[in-house]
Chains A and B, each alone.
Chain A
Amino acid sequence: MNPSSLAVRCQNVVKVYDTGDQKVTALNGVNLDIALGELMMLVGPSGCGKTTLISVIAGILDQDSGYCEVFGEDLLNMSNQHKLNFRARNIGFVFQAFNLLPALSAAENVSVPLIINGMKRAEAERKAIAVLEQVGLGARVTALSSELSGGQQQRVAIARALVHSPRLIVCDEPTSSLDHETGRNVMTLLKEVALHKDRALVIVTHDARIFDFADRIAEMDDGHIVKVKETRDKAKG
């Protein structure tokens, strides 16, 4: 793969958690490349290291050894401030439990990444409303998260992950709290709105119902990538 077309390059990444009485190896020499414009799914049994890997890729957890480059930048050797700025500009997050701020309206929630990046509140909210319209929630911009259904909350979370135009979006089980139809709708939305040639999506999931949305699926087990397979559509394409 051409390095300039890579969003993420992980080489021999190791992460060990020290729980006091024992050490748990969460990542044991992971090698993975994710290309720009690609939707990569990480799958595998619980405890295999998927969440640790996306935490390292998203720059919110430091690996113990190995190399992880995101858009050509080595996250481990960045200063804290540089890493914060890098995350604020380049990473969008979608969580299993949505993690919306319950006291904020949908528009305010979506505007948070823009405010973190220094945009004025009014302008950030205007832009947030535009993105909410894009995800089909133009009529619910003032609703609190408690007033939205699970699917709507996840759409707000997707809008929040997209609003500052990050180049990498990491999603942790984005459909596991949703019913089948809503889950597929969310994935369709993610693929249509979030994915384009300058951006990559990494999705950790157990949900086999959505595997067909992936370009490639990396199977993990015991801290390793055991297999990376292209999906049928991608292989055909």
Chain B
Amino acid sequence: MNHIALKMLMGDRGKYLGIVMGLTFASLIMTQQPAIFLGIMSRSYSFISDVGLPDIWVMDAKVQFVDDIKPLQDTELYRVRGVSGVEWAMPMYKGLLKARLLDGTFQTCNVIGLDDATLIGGPPVMLEGTIEDLRRSDGVIVDIDGAQDKLGKPSPIPGGKPIPLKVGDSLELNDHRAIVVGIAKVTRTFQSQPVVYTTYSRAKNYAPKERKLLSFILVKAKQGQDLAELTRRIRATTGLAAYTREEFATLTYEYFMHNTGIPINFGISVLLGFIVGAAIAGQTFYNSTLENLRQFGVLKAMGTSNWILLRMILLQAVLVGVIGYGLGVGLTALFGYSMRHTILAFKFPWQLLLFSGAGVSLICIFAALLSIIKVIRLEPAIVFKG
């Protein structure tokens, strides 16, 4: 009877496409919007992910997320180095400084100061130059997105695209000269500001004069050291906050989850996608069953059991569900692929497939259930009614 169920479903092309389109829409919204949401949220801790080498991040106990800088005194570095189990501890400066561009405008930059000797915490991928070039006088490394756009030189054509910053170009950071010695690829951050790497001492020079300028202490644990135990020891010994990389990323992620409207806004979009998809697909599927009711009645009169009719409806629901889900997920993947070089945040982990799959399944179960109830209650004597 399966082929009969499928032919009954596809017999009315308009309705069949309507059901599939409804499910495609629901699947698309339930996959694409969370993918953008995850993309945005992953940017909140992308800086932490980019700094790969250290095991532990140490900071002021009141820090709530990676951009919430509460500077420490440089002496804290030595206290951390004195904690047993610490292989090495390096300073890092992270702060927002204004860069003056050639046309006289200012651009806020995320300036990262790396330990002068080891340059630990540098950009993950160098596109031009090397990290060691930072040792050159006034040297800075600029991220490619910033170099091509916000820090670019003004176009000679009014309204034209800026000319990308190149190695050898200079810019002004808080009235100090900085020479571009390298171009790096970094993961986009939540604020999407240009990222400028330099040495710790030079960063302190660029930064406004303050008593405390040490943002983070990056710690490598000795081999075989339990990281949870070491973070507890650092906290106990120094009174500072210490997190593993994953813990710090989670802290940052949760701060954005709890203190911004982003999850609610995306949640509403996903819910609307689910409701609209369920309404379109559910109603069209149910209407299609209603229009086929006499046909189901004929099958029932001829001796088809309720169980077989139920299987036929479930098969129809599964088919439209799989096609709609596949199209929706495919369109989402296509969307993500076509936007891969843009500023759009997009993250598509496999768990998202399960999430939207569950949503589409719910819609199909809902639609099929309405139809099944109607068909099971159907009196076969309907076939003799005019």
Contacts and interface: CB of A to CB of B under 8 A. Distances in A.
B3 to A, nearest CB: 7
B295 A101 contact: yes
A56 to B, nearest CB: 9
Contact of A95 (B299, B300, B384): B384
A24 to B, nearest CB: 14
B316 to A, nearest CB: 12
A85 B303 CA distance: 6
A215 interface: no
A103 B298 CA distance: 14
Given A60-B381, A61-B379, A104-B7, A99 B294 contact: yes
Contact of B7 (A58, A84, A95, A103): A103
A167 to B, nearest CB: 14
A51 B298 contact: no
Interface string B367-386: 00000000000011101111
Given A91-B302, A93-B383, A113-B302, 10 more contacts: A58-B301, A61-B380, A85-B303, A95-B383, A95-B384, A99-B383, A101-B4, A102-B11, A103-B10, A172-B384
B304 interface: yes
Contacts of A172: 384
Contact of A103 (B8, B303, B380): B8
B192 interface: no
Contacts of A91: 302-303
Contacts of A96: 386
B11 A81 contact: no
Given A102-B11, A103-B7, A103-B11, A87 B301 contact: yes
Chain B interface size, as a band, is: 20 to 34
Contacts of B384: 51, 54-55, 95, 172
A62 B1 CA distance: 27
Interface string A53-77: 0110010110000000000000000
A54 B385 CA distance: 12
B381 A101 contact: no
A60 B11 contact: no
B301 A93 contact: yes
A102 B299 CA distance: 13
Contacts of A81: 305
A115 B302 CA distance: 11
Given A101-B7, A102-B11, A93 B298 contact: yes
22 contacts: A51-B384, A55-B384, A61-B380, A61-B381, A84-B304, A86-B303, A87-B302, A88-B302, A88-B304, A91-B303, A93-B298, A93-B301, A95-B298, A99-B295, A101-B8, A102-B295, A103-B11, A104-B4, A113-B303, A115-B1, A116-B302, A116-B304
Nearest to B295: A101
B381 A108 contact: no
Contacts of A97: 386
A111 B11 CA distance: 18
9 smallest A-B Cβ distances: which pairs? A88-B303, A103-B11, A60-B380, A103-B7, A87-B303, A61-B381, A55-B381, A51-B384, A99-B298
A121 B305 CA distance: 18
A112 B1 CA distance: 8
Among B4, B301, B305, B386, find the residue whose CB has the most chain A CB atoms closer than 10 A: B301
A84 B309 CA distance: 13
A188 interface: no
Contacts of A93: 298, 301-302, 383
Interface string B274-302: 00000000000000000000110011111
A117 interface: yes
Contacts of A112: 4, 299, 302
Nearest to B9: A103
B383 A121 contact: no
Nearest to B10: A103
Contact of B299 (A51, A89, A116, A117): A116
A145 to B, nearest CB: 10
Nearest to A83: B303
Contacts of B7: 101, 103-104, 108
A51 B380 CA distance: 13
A117 B4 contact: no
A87 B386 CA distance: 22
A171 to B, nearest CB: 10
Contacts of A95: 298, 383-384
A114 B365 CA distance: 30
A58 B383 CA distance: 12
A195 to B, nearest CB: 20
Interface in B283-340: 294-295, 298-305
Among B10, B305, B383, find the residue whose CB has the most chain A CB atoms closer than 10 A: B383
